[in-house]
Amino acid sequence: MVRKIVATGLVLLMSAAMVFAAGRAEGPADDDTLRIGLLVKSLGNSFFEAARDGAMEAAAELGDVEVIYQGPSTPTAEGQIEIIDSLIAQGVHGIAISSNDENALVPAAQRAQRAGIEVISFDSAVAADGRSIHLAPSDDELIGRSQVQAIAEMIDYEGQIAILSASSTATNQNAWIEWMRTALEEPEYANMELVDVVYGDDLSDQSYREAVGLFNSYPDLRGIISPTTVGVAATARAIQDEGLVGQVELTGLGLPSEMSQYVQDGVSQNVALWNPIDLGYAAIYITYHLLRGNVEAEAGAVIPAGRIGDIRVGEGLVAVLGEPFVFDASNIAEFADIY
């Protein structure tokens, strides 16, 4: 008897919850302050704390947005699922996720969508079934082209260059290298020659050895592109040790913390990487405009994102933030403290 009462009570409660949820599905009223959960891979990671700062900046500019910064203590999908459920219970309007597992978060994200919450992902994607838009930090073509442009400016568009990559099977690295090759066919790079692509396997010692190998094999080498943090830092060290600063230029993709010393020492004029502040900033703008109904989540949509400008939504509802952010002697020290 008692059980029956409890069961009935539960059913009633659940129906009430569903009615409530259904009511919410109509979207926020115009004068509501929008509450957006920023769900990151883990807390205590300075990369995401920088993203949070960007999100707060966007919220301050927009005025009617409250950002709820959340993340598990360790980077697990389970932890993120719990938080999604708790955000649903709190009745937030939107969630922007940097996911620990593309597929494992989909059911929880769909629960949120059914509860009328706008779900997007940024930085690290949730599979398409579980979100509307994904905000990617950059895309392969932009990365490849901007790296070639950076080294070209350092060597005055003339001379031999080489690429020092991570492992020879890394999908992202190979895609970037292909775009670098494509870019190098442009007429303005006609006097530049890509002489070699070597692989340091993202190990300091192997990358260092490969860099020294390049100096040996190509005495006239003018520049190296190393689109990986371990590789670009080890190459910088090798250039310094071999006394080739100024003779062999260096750029690449690297954490500002790893590269700060070398950029300030002049071994590399600049390196690039995604900017977590801009990522968090843009993620809030996108969620905001979707919630306000200013834009539809569809390919070809253009979303205004404050100081960053317009962000275009492409195929698969993937929006690209832009070219990697460039760190040079003027700003790298500041970012080195962040990530």
Partner 1 sequence: MEGISNMKHGGVRGTFLHRILARREITLLVIIVLLVAAVGIRAPRFLQPGRQLSILNDTIILLMLTLGQLAVILTAGIDLSVASNLAFTGMAVAMWNMMMPGVPMIVLVGASILIGASLGAFNGVMVAVGKVPPIIMTLGTMSVYRGMVFLISGGAWVSAHQMSPAFRGFARFSFLGLPSLVWIGVLTTGLVYLFLNHTKGGRELYAVGDNETAAGFVGVSANRAKIKAFVLSGAIAGLTGLLWVSRYASAQNDTAIGFELETVAAAVIGGVSIMGGSGSVPGVVLGAVFLGIVKNALTVIGVSPFWQMAIQGGVILIAIVANTLVDRRNQAKLSMNGVSA
Strand 249-252 to 221-226 pairing = parallel
Which residue from 70, 138, 147, 260 is in contact with partner 1, where contact means CB under 8 A? 260
Decide: is 63 part of the binding site for partner 1 (CB under 8 A): no
C-alpha 110/C-alpha 263 separation (Å) is 44
**Binding partner 1 by CB under 8 A: which of 149, 247, 264, 269?**
264
> In the complex, what is the shortest distance from the CB of residue 150 to partner 1, in angstroms, rounded to a whole number?
21
Identify which range of 12-20, 25-33, 98-106, 258-266 contacts partner 1 by CB under 8 A. 258-266
314 binding partner 1? (CB under 8 A): no
Amino acid identity, residue 121?
S
Residues β-bridged to residue 134: 121, 318
CB of 260 to partner 1, least distance (A): 4
User: Which amino acid is residue 144, in one-letter code?
Assistant: G
Q: Would you say 233 or 277 has its CB closer to partner 1? A: 233
Using CB under 8 A as the binding rule, whether residue 255 contacts partner 1 is answered as yes
Q: Which residues contact 130 (CB under 8 A, 6 or more apart)?
A: 105, 106, 107, 108, 109, 110, 113, 119, 121
Binding mask 137-176 toward partner 1 (x if CB under 8 A, else -) reads -------------------------------x--------
159-165/118-122 β-pairing: unpaired
Question: Which of 124, 204, 269, 331 is the binder for partner 1 (CB under 8 A)?
Answer: 204
Q: Which is nearer to partner 1, 28 or 254 (CB)?
A: 254
Asked if residue 199 binds partner 1 (CB under 8 A), the reply is: yes
Of residues 132 and 207, the one with the C-beta less far from partner 1:
207
Name the token pair of 132.
Answer: 């509307």
Torsion sign across C-alpha atoms 156, 157, 158, 161: positive
- Residue 51 contacts partner 1 per CB under 8 A: no
What tokens were used for 275? 């900017």
Counting contacts by CB under 8 A, is residue 208 touching partner 1? yes
205 binds partner 1 (CB under 8 A): yes
| DSSP characters over 81-123 | HHHHHHHHHHT-SEEEE--S-TTTTHHHHHHHHHTT-EEEEES
The amino acid occupying position 122 is F
- Residue 214: burial class (beta carbons within 10 Å; 0-12, 13-18, 19+): buried
Which residues bind to partner 1, rule: CB under 8 A? 44, 168, 196, 198-199, 203-205, 208-210, 212-214, 216-217, 219, 230, 233-234, 237, 241-242, 255, 257-258, 260-262, 264, 333, 336
